[in-house]
A and B are shown apart, each in its own frame.
Chain A
Amino acid sequence: MRLTPVHYRGGAPALTDVIGGHTQVLFISVTLMNQPWKAGQLKALGVGGGKRVPQFPELPTIAESGLPGYQAVSWFGLFAPVGTPASIVRNMNADVQRILADPTFQEKFLTPNFFEPIVGSADAFASYVKAEQARWSKILADNKLSAE
């Protein structure tokens, strides 16, 4: 399947162009496409997570639409320079996890912005990062993608 990549500085200009018909297809965060989609300016074909987005139960995942294992998810994390004392890392993780687990924070910030929290210890997050590195290195190698 041939698609011509068009590079943008950020999601907002890319969204503007697909709404305007200058480009035809786009991968964009559900946060940014929510309103134009509800307004009928775009058609949404599927979402890239492992399961359907709770706010859009009618939108299938791409994985269940014929591409099993497909994943298109952005994730965000907190890092420190290597050598930062383990006690600081551990305690900071505990503090951040408390914030992410707080129902008020979920209700007022996470859910309205379509974030799903990443739960777990610093070691669990380190494993997550390793798994993501393995996944991305394979995607880039399989598709012979590089920036230079």
Chain B
Amino acid sequence: MNSRRLMSGMSPSLRALTASIMIPASDHRGSRSFDQSEGVDESCEPLPRHPATMNADHIPRDLVRRRSHDNTHFERARTCSSAAIRGSGLAPSAGADYPAKAVRLVVPLPAGGATDVIARAVSQRLSEMWGQQIIVENKGGANTQIGAEAVAKSAPDGYTLLATSEATLAVNPFLYRKLAYEAKDFVPVSGLGTITQALVVHPSVSANTVAEFCARQIEAR
């Protein structure tokens, strides 16, 4: 829901009422209810950010101070900003509460393979960081096309993601004449990792180096 669009058509009083309803719910790990009729907190002043987040766009969840029983800086900041929101009639920015529910991660390759292994390892850590489940779904077939198509057709709301190999975006578009998706259907979020391939031969093969192997194969033609 685009809250700005919703709000812009409203009368000022309705906007203020809506703003008070649309204040982001305190994070699910503990909410402090406060009197909605409070005025602006006169003691609001900018509070220092956690040093690890000084250059970050957002504060990772595990650095947000959990609710504690004393009136901590972060809790005061939330009160302060909520009061400011009530006053200004603005709604929270898109993504402020992401993820608010379980996230689906499609892996278009079999369970136990390299892609699946790194996707699961990273998503387990992400899930802990976010305090939300990430459900990994293996959806193999047609050299990752089946799983990729499913994600390409999903709502772009951050709740369906794709963890895949180079096959999907770097190889398939040039290998197949017709694909069920296009490379431009996806936005790259983050690289995960690389694994080097090795050239191996059966011990009976006489070459001991790449150069010897190539030479022998060329001769054998």
Contacts and interface: CB of A to CB of B under 8 A. Distances in A.
Nearest to B161: A80
B187 A84 contact: yes
A73 B169 CA distance: 15
B54 interface: no
Contacts of B194: 49, 73-76, 115-116, 118
Given A18-B201, A81-B185, A91 B98 contact: yes
A65 B183 CA distance: 34
Query: Which of B164, B169, B177, B197 counts the most chain A CB atoms within 10 A?
Result: B197
B107 to A, nearest CB: 10
Q: Is the interface of B mostly helix, strand, loop or mixed?
A: mixed
Nearest to A133: B170
B197 A27 contact: yes
Contacts of A114: 195-196
Interface in B109-135: 110, 113-115, 117-119, 121-122, 125-126, 129-130
Contacts of A59: 198
Contacts of B12: none
B118 to A, nearest CB: 5
Q: Is the interface of A mostly helix, strand, loop or mixed?
A: mixed
Contacts of B197: 27-30, 47-48, 72-74
A148 B115 CA distance: 25
A81 B202 contact: no
B174 interface: yes
B196 A94 contact: no
A129 B208 contact: no
Nearest to A98: B60
Contacts of A92: 158, 189-190
Nearest to B99: A88
A1 B163 contact: no
Contacts of B170: 129, 132-133, 135-136
A140 B192 contact: no
Contacts of B51: none
A80 B196 contact: no
B190 A46 contact: no
Contacts of B93: 87
A84 B158 contact: yes
Interface string A80-118: 111111011111111111111010010001100111111
Nearest to B184: A82
Interface of B: 56-58, 60, 93-95, 98, 110, 113-115, 117-119, 121-122, 125-126, 129-130, 143, 151-158, 160-166, 168-171, 173-177, 183-205, 207-211, 213-214, 217-218, 220-221
Given A60-B209, A113-B195, 5 more contacts: A10-B113, A80-B158, A102-B125, A116-B193, A146-B176
